[in-house]
C-alpha cells in the first residue's frame, strides 16, 4: 500500500524531470520537500510560480478540491505520430510550431472534384472545437506507456475481433441504427468514456464533490459519473453498464477511480467487457487537473497501457446537449442509405 | 292467532325501527359487545351472510312481511327440496342448464332469524322502488343482454368476468356460495376482507374527505365512524358499471354494522340514487359467526368460463351460418 | 530563517488531516450549515401517470395487459384540477388520445421539470455551496442548480436553467429557459416555452423531503398552480443510481422503419 505522498500521485514508471518526482524514502521526501519549498519561495519572489509547491484547497469534508468546469480539448493525439517517433516531448518552441501547423491545417481549403468527398472534407474549425494547444506536459502523444507512445500490440483474439468489427462496418455501414457509431446513436460520447477522451467538440466537464462522493458531469451527453468514495463492492458481475461501474478513493491528493462492469459494446479501441480501468485525477495547479488512466484488458492488448491528458479550468458553463432529442442525423443516414439502395436496384433493373 | 298477531306486532315494531337511515339501530336486549384495544366495539371475526330469504318479497307472499315459525320451517323445507330436485330437460342444453343442485351452491338453508319474507325492510312492500327512469334503464339493459348475451367479455356478468362478486358490493349481499367475510380492526380502521374475490374494504374512521369526484371505483369509496355500538359507513364515488339493480355512479350507500349478540352481526343498509329509485330503500341481513377460515378465491386465474362462454357463442354463430 | 520557515511549512503540510474518504454524510446539516439534501431519493406517487386524481384504467397497448395499465392515483394537484385555458384543454385531451405517439417519455426524451422529480426512478443530489447537482437515473437526465445567479438562461433547453437559494431551511429553485417539448405526465399535460417553475425542497426528518412545485405558463394556464408530494430517501445497503440509457431501447421504435429489409428470395 502506497502511503500518501506530499506530492500526491503514484508514479508507476520512471518520470522525466519536468514531471512530478517519484516517491522515495521518507528522508528523501523530506529533503525534496525542503528543496522544493526553498526553490518555490525564491522563485515566488521573482514572480515565477513553481507548480510543484502548490497544494490544492480542501472541500469542507477534507477532499482535495477538484471542483469546477474543466475542458480536456487538446490537439495532442493519442498515439505518437510516425514522424515524431522516438521524440517523447516537444520543446516549448517545437510545441508552438506544431500547434500553428495543426491549427492552420484544420482550416485549410480541401476541395475535391468528387461531390461526396468535397462535402465530406468541408468541415473546418467552425464546426469543430478540438482545441488549439498540445497538452501542458508538452508530450507528443497522450500515451505515456508504452514508451513509444503507441498502443501495445493486440492479442490474437483482439485482432480477430477488430477485424470482425471492421468487416461488419464495411459490409453493413447503415443497415440499421446499431451499425452507426455510439455518438451518432446519441448513446455515448468519447468524452464520457470512461476513460474520458477529448472529442470533436464540447470537451467539457463539471466536477462536484460532497461528503463521500465525487460527481463528474460530462457535457456530452449529459452523463453523470457519480463515484462513491466508500469501500462498497462493485455491482454484480452480471450487471454491465455503458460507463461501467466506478469506485473511488483518495491517495494523498490524487483521486483514484477503478472502473469495471463494462459492456464490451463500447468498443473503446476494441476493448472487451473485461476491461479494467484505473483513472487518476490530480490537481497540479489552480487551472490544471492531470488526468491519467491505465487500461488493463488482457483479452485485447498484450500489456496494459497508460495515457495522460491535462484538463484546463474553463470560464464557461456546461450546456445541455439534448443529442437524441435533436437526432436528425440518424434518420437522414438511414433513409439516405435506403434511397441509395433503391437507386442501385432501379439502375440494376434498367 | 294471538301468537301470530303478537309476532306480527313485534316484527312490525322491529321493522319500523329500521325504517329510514336516520332511525336508531335495533337495541339488543342486554348484549354489550367487547371492545378492541383502541376502544372500538369489537366486530372482528369470520362472518357468513348466506340465507334463503330473498332480497325482494316474492310475489306469492305479497302483503306478508313476516313468516310464522311454522311457515318459515315449511318455506325452508320447500326450498331445500326444490333446489335439489331433478330437472331433466328436453334437449341437451336445457338438461345441462338445470343440472346444478345444492352440491354446487351454498346459499344457506335458513330464512333470516327475524322471519321476514324479504331482506328489504323499507319500502314496506319489500320491493325495490324503481323510478320510471330507473325501470326504463333496467329494461333497456335486460333487452340488450337478451340480444347480446356474449358478443364480448363486457356482456357477461361481473362475477363471470371475475371483476366483482355479489358478496362484495357494497352493499354486501349473500351470493350463490362462499358468502364469507373476515373483519379486522386496528386503530382508526375497520377492514373487511370479502372472500369473493379477495376484495378488501379498508374503511378509515377519521373524518378525511372522500376521493375526488373524478375518481370512480367498483367498490366506491368508504368512510366510517362509530355511533354508539354501530359502525356507520358512507360510500360514494361508484362507477355506475357495477350494475347494482340499475344504479348510476351517483348512488350513495349507508351501511350499519351492529353486533347484536356474540354470534350475530346485524347488517343494515340504505341505498339512495334519485336517478334510479323513487326513494331510498333499506334492507337488513344478519351475519352469523363462522369458524372460517377464509380461502383464496383465485377467480381470474382459473377463469375457464369466459373463454368457454365466448368460444361457445362463436361456435354457435359459425354453425348457424 | 528561511530554512526554519520551510521546515515549519513542510511539517504543517505533511501533517494534513486524513482525507475523509468513507463518510457519506447523513447528518442534518452540511459543513456550510445548510440542510443536508445529499443522497439518493425517489418519489412514490403515481404523478407520472397523471398529475390529477384518476381511477385505474386500461393502458394503450393491449399486449401489455396489466403491466401497461394505468394505476390509480389520488392526485398531487392542489385544488385537484389543472387550470387550463379552454383552448389548451382541447390540446391536452388530444395529447392524451394520441399519447403513445406524442408522449416524449415514450421516445426516451429528456423529462423536463418538474416531471424528472416524480419519474418512477431514483435521483441523486450532490450538494455543494455553489452548485447543487441533481442526477436523474432516467435517461441520465441531469440539472445543475446554480446557487449564485448566473443571469438569464442563454438558450432554451429541455431541463431549463435552475437558480437556487435558501429560504430558512427550504431550498427554493427557480427554473426558466424551457423549450416547449416536454410533458408533465403521461396524461398529456403540457406547457409552452413560457414555463416557469418554482420548486421548494424541505427536509422533514433525515429520510423525507417535502416537495412543492408551483407551475406558471401564461400561454397554457389561467393562473399558477401547485403540486406537492413527499420524496423518500432510498435506504438499501450500498444503493446507487444505475444506468437507464433508454435511447438504445427506442431505436427500433423510432428507426425500425428505416432498416434495410432482407433481400427478397
pLDDT < 50 stretches in chain A:
1-24, 39-51
- Residue that has been written with the C-alpha cell 445529499 in this structure: C38
Closest CA to A256 of A277, A233, A240, A236: A277
What are B146-159's pLDDT values in tens digits?
999 999 999 999 99
Please indicate if any CB of chain C lies within 8 Å of the CB of B211: yes
The predicted structure's pLDDT at residue A346: 83
pLDDT above 60: residue B219? yes
The predicted structure's pLDDT at residue A14: 37
Q: Do C54 and B214 touch (CB under 8 A)?
A: yes
Inter-residue contact C180 to C189 (CB < 8 Å): no
Q: Do C260 and A176 touch (CB under 8 A)?
A: yes
Phi, psi of B160 (to 5 degrees): -65, -30
CA distance B232 to B225: 5
**pLDDT above 90 coverage of chain B, percent:** 78
Interface probe, candidates C55, C73, C76, chain B, greatest B C-beta count within 10 A: C55
In angstroms, the separation between the Cα of residue C264 and the nearest Cα of chain A is 12
In angstroms, the separation between the Cα of residue C62 and the nearest Cα of chain B is 15
Inter-residue contact B240 to B216 (CB < 8 Å): yes
User: What is the CA A316 to chain-centroid distance, rounded?
Assistant: 20
CA distance B26 to B287: 15
What are C76-114's pLDDT values in tens digits?
999 989 999 999 999 999 999 999 999 999 999 999 999
The predicted structure's pLDDT at residue B88: 85
What are C51-64's pLDDT values in tens digits?
999 999 999 999 99
How many CA atoms within 13 Å lie on the side-chain side of A260? 9
The predicted structure's pLDDT at residue B94: 83
CA distance B119 to B65: 10
Please indicate if any CB of chain A lies within 8 Å of the CB of C123: no
What are C82-91's pLDDT values in tens digits?
999 999 999 9
The predicted structure's pLDDT at residue B102: 79
What are C236-248's pLDDT values in tens digits?
999 999 999 999 9
The predicted structure's pLDDT at residue A2: 32
Mean pLDDT over the full length of chain C? 90
**pLDDT above 90 coverage of chain C, percent:** 85
Q: Do C74 and B217 touch (CB under 8 A)?
A: no
Residue B26 pLDDT class (50, 70, 90 cuts): low
Neighbours of A195 (CB within 10 A): 23
Q: Do A211 and C32 touch (CB under 8 A)?
A: no
Over residues B64-90, the mean pLDDT reads 91
Over residues B99-128, the mean pLDDT reads 92
Q: Do C75 and B216 touch (CB under 8 A)?
A: no
How many residues in total does chain C contain?
Answer: 265
| A67 vs C128, C140, C141: nearest CB | C128
Q: Do C54 and B215 touch (CB under 8 A)?
A: yes
Who's near A259: CB < 8 A, 6+ residues apart?
Answer: A194, A243, A244, A245, A246, A247, A276, A277, A278, A279
Please indicate if any CB of chain A lies within 8 Å of the CB of C148: no
pLDDT above 70: residue B254? yes
What are C255-265's pLDDT values in tens digits?
999 998 866 55
CA distance A295 to A151: 10
The predicted structure's pLDDT at residue C22: 44
The predicted structure's pLDDT at residue A9: 34
- Partner A, chain C 32-71, Cβ-Cβ below 8 Å: 32, 38
pLDDT < 50 stretches in chain C:
5, 7-23
Interface probe, candidates B161, B212, B219, B241, chain C, greatest C C-beta count within 10 A: B212
In angstroms, the separation between the Cα of residue C72 and the nearest Cα of chain B is 8
- Residue ranges of domains in chain C, CATH in brackets: 26-258 (2.40.128.20)
Q: Do C54 and B217 touch (CB under 8 A)?
A: no
DSSP state of B46: E
Residue B28 pLDDT class (50, 70, 90 cuts): low
| A324 vs C25, C109, C154: nearest CB | C109
- The SS3 call for residue B33 is coil
Please name every residue paired with C25 in a beta bridge, in sequence order, or none if there are none.
Answer: none
The predicted structure's pLDDT at residue C28: 81
What are B220-243's pLDDT values in tens digits?
999 999 999 999 999 999 998 987
Q: Which alpha helices (H) appear in B50-127, and where do they start and end?
A: 69-84, 92-97
Amino acid at each position: 500500500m502506497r502511503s500518501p505522498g506530499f506530492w500526491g500521485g503514484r508514479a508507476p514508471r520512471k518520470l522525466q524531470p519536468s514531471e512530478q518526482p517519484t516517491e522515495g524514502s521518507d528522508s528523501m521526501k523530506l529533503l525534496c520537500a525542503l528543496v522544493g519549498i526553498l526553490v518555490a519561495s525564491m522563485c515566488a519572489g521573482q514572480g515565477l510560480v513553481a507548480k510543484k509547491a502548490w497544494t490544492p484547497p480542501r472541500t469542507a469534508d477534507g477532499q482535495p478540491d477538484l471542483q469546477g468546469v474543466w475542458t480536456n480539448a487538446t490537439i495532442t493525439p493519442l498515439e505518437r505520430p510516425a514522424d515524431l517517433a522516438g521524440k517523447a516531448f516537444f520543446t516549448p518552441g517545437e510545441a508552438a510550431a506544431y500547434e500553428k501547423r495543426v491549427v492552420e491545417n484544420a482550416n485549410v481549403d480541401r476541395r475535391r472534384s468528387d461531390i461526396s468527398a468535397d462535402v465530406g472534407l468541408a468541415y473546418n474549425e467552425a464546426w469543430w472545437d478540438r482545441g488549439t494547444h498540445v497538452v501542458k506536459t508538452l508530450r507528443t502523444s497522450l500515451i505515456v506507456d508504452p514508451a513509444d507512445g503507441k498502443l501495445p500490440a493486440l492479442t490474437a483474439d483482439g485482432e480477430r475481433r477488430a477485424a470482425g468489427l471492421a468487416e461488419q462496418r464495411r459490409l453493413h455501414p447503415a443497415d440499421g441504427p446499431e451499425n452507426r457509431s455510439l455518438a451518432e446513436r446519441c448513446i455515448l460520447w468519447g468524452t464520457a468514456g470512461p476513460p474520458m477522451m477529448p472529442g470533436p467538440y464540447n470537451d467539457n466537464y463539471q466536477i462536484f464533490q460532497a461528503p463521500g462522493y465525487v460527481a463528474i458531469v460530462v457535457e456530452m451527453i449529459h452523463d453523470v459519473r457519480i463515484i462513491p468514495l466508500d469501500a462498497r463492492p462493485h455491482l454484480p458481475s452480471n450487471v454491465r453498464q455503458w460507463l461501467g461501474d466506478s469506485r473511488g478513493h483518495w491517495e494523498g491528493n490524487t483521486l483514484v477511480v477503478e472502473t469495471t462492469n463494462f459492456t464490451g459494446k463500447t468498443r473503446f479501441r476494441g476493448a472487451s467487457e473485461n476491461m479494467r480501468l484505473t483513472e487518476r485525477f490530480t490537481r497540479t495547479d489552480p487551472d490544471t487537473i492531470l488526468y491519467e488512466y491505465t487500461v488493463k484488458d488482457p483479452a485485447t492488448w498484450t500489456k496494459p497501457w497508460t495515457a495522460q491528458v491535462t484538463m484546463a479550468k474553463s470560464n464557461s458553463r456546461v450546456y445541455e446537449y439534448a443529442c437524441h432529442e435533436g437526432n436528425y442525423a440518424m434518420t437522414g443516414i438511414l433513409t439516405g442509405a435506403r434511397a441509395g439502395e433503391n437507386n442501385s436496384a432501379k439502375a440494376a433493373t434498367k | 292467532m294471538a301468537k301470530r298477531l303478537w309476532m306480527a306486532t313485534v316484527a312490525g315494531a322491529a321493522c319500523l325501527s329500521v325504517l329510514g337511515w336516520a332511525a336508531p339501530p335495533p337495541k339488543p336486549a342486554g348484549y354489550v359487545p367487547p371492545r378492541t384495544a383502541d376502544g372500538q366495539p369489537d366486530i372482528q371475526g369470520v362472518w357468513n351472510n348466506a340465507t334463503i330469504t330473498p332480497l325482494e318479497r316474492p310475489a306469492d307472499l305479497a302483503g306478508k312481511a313476516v313468516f310464522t315459525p311454522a311457515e318459515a320451517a315449511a318455506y325452508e323445507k320447500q326450498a331445500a327440496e326444490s333446489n335439489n330436485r331433478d330437472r331433466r330437460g328436453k334437449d341437451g342444453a336445457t338438461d345441462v342448464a338445470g343440472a346444478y343442485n345444492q352440491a354446487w351452491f351454498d346459499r344457506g338453508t335458513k330464512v333470516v332469524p327475524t322471519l321476514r319474507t324479504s331482506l328489504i325492510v323499507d319500502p314496506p312492500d319489500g320491493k325495490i322502488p324503481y323510478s320510471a327512469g330507473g325501470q326504463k334503464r333496467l329494461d333497456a339493459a335486460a333487452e340488450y343482454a337478451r340480444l347480446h348475451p356474449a358478443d364480448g367479455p363486457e356482456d357477461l356478468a361481473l362475477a363471470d368476468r371475475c371483476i366483482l362478486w355479489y358478496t362484495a358490493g357494497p352493499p354486501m349481499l349473500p351470493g350463490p356460495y362462499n358468502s364469507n367475510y373476515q373483519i379486522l380492526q386496528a386503530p382508526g380502521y375497520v377492514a373487511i376482507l370479502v372472500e369473493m374475490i379477495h376484495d378488501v374494504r379498508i374503511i378509515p374512521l377519521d373524518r378525511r374527505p372522500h376521493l375526488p369526484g373524478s375518481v370512480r371505483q367498483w367498490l366506491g369509496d368508504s368512510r366510517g365512524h362509530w355511533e354508539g355500538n354501530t359502525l356507520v359507513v358512507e360510500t360514494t364515488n361508484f362507477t355506475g358499471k357495477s350494475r347494482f339493480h340499475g344504479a348510476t355512479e351517483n348512488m350513495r350507500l349507508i351501511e350499519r354494522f351492529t353486533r347484536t349478540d356474540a354470534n350475530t352481526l346485524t347488517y343494515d343498509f340504505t341505498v339512495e340514487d334519485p336517478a334510479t329509485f323513487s326513494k331510498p330503500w333499506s334492507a337488513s341481513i344478519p351475519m352469523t359467526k363462522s369458524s372460517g377460515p377464509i380461502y383464496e378465491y383465485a377467480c381470474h386465474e382459473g377463469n375457464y368460463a369466459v373463454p368457454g362462454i365466448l368460444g361457445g357463442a362463436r361456435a354457435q354463430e359459425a354453425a348457424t351460418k | 530563517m528561511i530554512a526554519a520557515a520551510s521546515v515549519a511549512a513542510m511539517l504543517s503540510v505533511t501533517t494534513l488531516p486524513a482525507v475523509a474518504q468513507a463518510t457519506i454524510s447523513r447528518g442534518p446539516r452540511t459543513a456550510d450549515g445548510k440542510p443536508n439534501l445529499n443522497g439518493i431519493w425517489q418519489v412514490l406517487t403515481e404523478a407520472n401517470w397523471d398529475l390529477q386524481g384518476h381511477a385505474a384504467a386500461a393502458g394503450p397497448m393491449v399486449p401489455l395487459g396489466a403491466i401497461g395499465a394505468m394505476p390509480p392515483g389520488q392526485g398531487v394537484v392542489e385544488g385537484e384540477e389543472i387550470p387550463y385555458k379552454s383552448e389548451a384543454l382541447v390540446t391536452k385531451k388530444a395529447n392524451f388520445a394520441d399519447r403513445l405517439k406524442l408522449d416524449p417519455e415514450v421516445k426516451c426524451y429528456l423529462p423536463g421539470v418538474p416531471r424528472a422529480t416524480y419519474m418512477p426512478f431514483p435521483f441523486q443530489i450532490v450538494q455543494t455551496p455553489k452548485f447543487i447537482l441533481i442526477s436523474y437515473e432516467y435517461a441520465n437526465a441531469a440539472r445543475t442548480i446554480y446557487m449564485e445567479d448566473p443571469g438569464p438562461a442563454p438558450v432554451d433547453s429541455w431541463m431549463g436553467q435552475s437558480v437556487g437559494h435558501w429560504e430558512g431551511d427550504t431550498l427554493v429553485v427557480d427554473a426558466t429557459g424551457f423549450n416547449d417539448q416536454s410533458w408533465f405526465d403521461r396524461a398529456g399535460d403540457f406547457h409552452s416555452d413560457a414555463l416557469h417553475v418554482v420548486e421548494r425542497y424541505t427536509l422533514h426528518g433525515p429520510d423525507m423531503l417535502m416537495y412543492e412545485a408551483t407551475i406558471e405558463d401564461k400561454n397554457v394556464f389561467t393562473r399558477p398552480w401547485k403540486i406537492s408530494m413527499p420524496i423518500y430517501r432510498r435506504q438499501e445497503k450500498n444503493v446507487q443510481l444505475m444506468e437507464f440509457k433508454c435511447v438504445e431501447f427506442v431505436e427500433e421504435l423510432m428507426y425500425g422503419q428505416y432498416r434495410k429489409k432482407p433481400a427478397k428470395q
